A and B are shown apart, each in its own frame.
Chain A
Amino acid sequence: MSEPLELWITAELSEKIREHGVETYPYECCGALLGTDHDFLAYDPNQESRKISRGALSLFPLVNRRDDSPRNRFSVTADDVREAEKAATSQGLEVIGWYHSHPDHPARPSDYDRDHAWPWYSYIIVSVHTGMPRDMTSWRLKDDRSGFLPEKISLMKGSAAD
């Protein structure tokens, strides 16, 4: 049995994702999660240090390239992916996932999300209802592409390398 999936993110970054969703409402926002996927020390809101395996430490907001249907679709081109990877490398990080908003829809992945997802990445979805941010969830594609596994989002105050 594998360990439950968990994504750590600072409260500041999670707020920025919500703000991005509000800013682009009623259209979908999107961006890259830059971080680490190896053990490092983080501090939870109780100030207790804890070794974690995956953490988002920076964002790379992107422009939604789906001009034809931006209310319920988002698209990040290969060139955008390369730019996000360059930005991550310049900060000593890697692209660990992606975020997008679901305007006036729940923060649950759709079949369309599943059909277009890559494994390993964390996919954060923030629901924005009538311009107000609601739930934020994170997901990872199952190895057999049959669906997503839920990933717990944990808030951290800061981080320090081992």
Chain B
Amino acid sequence: MSVKVMIPTPLRVYAGKRDSAEFSAATVGEALSGLTNQFAELRKHLYTEDGKLRAFVNVYLNDEDIRYLAKESTPTKDGDTISIIPSIAGGSSETAD
């Protein structure tokens, strides 16, 4: 079962400049593990130190945000496409109003 993972521009530098990679995976989590196993430098930018997807990392299975499916346990089928879409945040001080 082959699933394509689209790699966002800011992470391609850690993936041999590739914009996608294919993995055999039964769930979204397995596909993302395939990605971070093949390109280990990606891992710290996608996951926190305790292994959770970072808040500004958005993962879509085809066009569906996995937060509204079964998150990383969402099952995949042959030919699915997983997209990693950044959201961007920042600010001037350490504490919000």
Contacts and interface: CB of A to CB of B under 8 A. Distances in A.
B58 A71 contact: no
Given A118-B10, A119-B10, A121-B10, A75 B97 contact: no
B90 A68 contact: no
Interface residues of A, number: 39
Chain B interface, DSSP helix/strand/loop, else mixed: mixed
A145 B44 contact: yes
Given A30-B88, A117-B90, A121-B10, A72 B96 contact: yes
A81 B86 contact: yes
A28 B88 CA distance: 13
A8 interface: no
B95 to A, nearest CB: 8
Residue in A100, A103, A145 whose Cβ sees the most chain B Cβ within 10 Å = A100
A81 B93 contact: no
Interface string A101-132: 01111000111110011111101000000000
A76 interface: yes
A46 to B, nearest CB: 32
Contact of A78 (B9, B85, B91): B85
A76 B97 contact: no
A123 B89 CA distance: 11
Interface residues of B, number: 27
Given A71-B97, A72-B97, A105 B92 contact: yes
A77 interface: yes
A73 interface: yes
A95 B94 CA distance: 27
Interface string B49-63: 000000110100000
Interface of B: 8-14, 41, 44-45, 55-56, 58, 65, 85-97
28 contacts: A28-B91, A66-B89, A69-B97, A72-B91, A72-B95, A74-B88, A75-B87, A75-B88, A76-B87, A78-B58, A78-B65, A80-B87, A95-B9, A109-B90, A110-B93, A112-B93, A113-B90, A116-B55, A116-B88, A116-B90, A118-B10, A118-B88, A119-B11, A120-B9, A120-B11, A120-B13, A121-B10, A123-B90
**Which 8 A-B residue pairings sit nearest by Cβ, starting from the closest?**
A105-B92, A73-B91, A69-B96, A76-B88, A102-B92, A120-B10, A113-B90, A118-B10
